[in-house]
Structure 1
């Protein structure tokens, strides 16, 4: 089973998850996660453990903050993961773009609160050493307006990395990589 992990202030029902659902059909789930990091990780750990207990292979696809969560979970459970424009220093990245208080959800325009404690809690999921770099593939576009792609290249230097000129934080034309992602997971 593939678990798609969306980014900050997003949803498992967004455009990119829909693209993945269309391609992978019943082989993927795209949960909408809590904006509170500990709750999001807890939900993902529960899902992973249920699938593993059933003897299923689990792979992860994570976009932005979902890439950060994916790296942590891939390291913890020795899973394959594809990271799409991952926010590998999310506390720093989120602090640049958001102040504390109410933040708008990109999917449904609802508001939720981001607190100093929530940002600090992200430190609990920071990966200092990637245990199995061959399990990680990163898709990075240099035109990402939110994340400095050079940070990702440094952190993921021992992993498979595909870097494209241009693009944006959403990762334009992700469809052209679906076959490659599928093959990476096999």
Structure 2
């Protein structure tokens, strides 16, 4: 199973989600691509992702992940817990430090959902934090220095021992993401 994990206030219907689905459909049609719409509650999101991983492992499937932003934070935890390999795109390193600015009402532009970010959502993220990357060979990290949402240097520090592509400029969406999909497929060893 290839699990695509979107970021905060995003969706599988984001540009990266759609480009990923199209690429997998065209170039790796036998891959089981799963792109869930994550619940806004962080514990519920991780419970869903864990359940998907356990179902795939029960079927004898190998695990691969593509995680963007907050999805990269989740993917890091999942790789350490369940195994597999992950590609992280401008990953959030310590999202609980950022959640203060998002407390209160939110609107997801992809789903139309209105919801509240509560202090407990922020606190729950601490449960999924990894102090260090135990298996750096399992990660390929894509960073752009122009990320206007996250400081790329945080990810550069945390994932310094992992395979990495660092590009100058760009933005949080990772400009030119589609051009990286063949390298992503090779790293994940997609059939």
Q: TM > 0.5 between the two?
A: yes
Match of 2:40 among 28, 31, 35: 35
Match of 1:83 among 69, 80, 88: 88
Q: Aligned pairs, how many?
A: 184
| Counterpart secondary structure, 1:21 | helix
Q: Which runs of 5+ in 2 are unaligned?
A: none
| Correspondences of 1:118-129 after superposition (within 5 Å) | 118-129=121-132
Name 2:8's counterpart in structure 1.
8
How far 1:53 sits from its partner (Å)?
Answer: 1.0
- Map Cα deviations across residues 40-63 of structure 1 (whole Å, 9 max, x no partner): 111011111111111111100000
Alpha-carbon distance in 2 for matches of 1:179, 1:14? 19
- What TM-score, normalized by structure 1, do the two folds share? 0.95
- Map Cα deviations across residues 125-182 of structure 1 (whole Å, 9 max, x no partner): 0011212100001000100001000010000011111100111111111011100000
Match of 2:75 among 70, 81, 88: 70
Alpha-carbon distance in 2 for matches of 1:56, 1:35? 27
- What TM-score, normalized by structure 2, do the two folds share? 0.93
Alpha-carbon distance in 2 for matches of 1:81, 1:93? 23
| Counterpart secondary structure, 1:16 | helix
Name 1:58's counterpart in structure 2.
63
Give me the CA root mean square deviation.
Answer: 1.1
- Map Cα deviations across residues 50-97 of structure 1 (whole Å, 9 max, x no partner): 1111111110000000000000101111220000000111011232x4
Name 2:152's counterpart in structure 1.
149
Contact 2:132 2:158 (8 Å CA) reproduced: no
| Counterpart secondary structure, 2:98 | helix
Q: Which runs of 5+ in 1 are unaligned?
A: none
Alpha-carbon distance in 2 for matches of 1:65, 1:133? 19
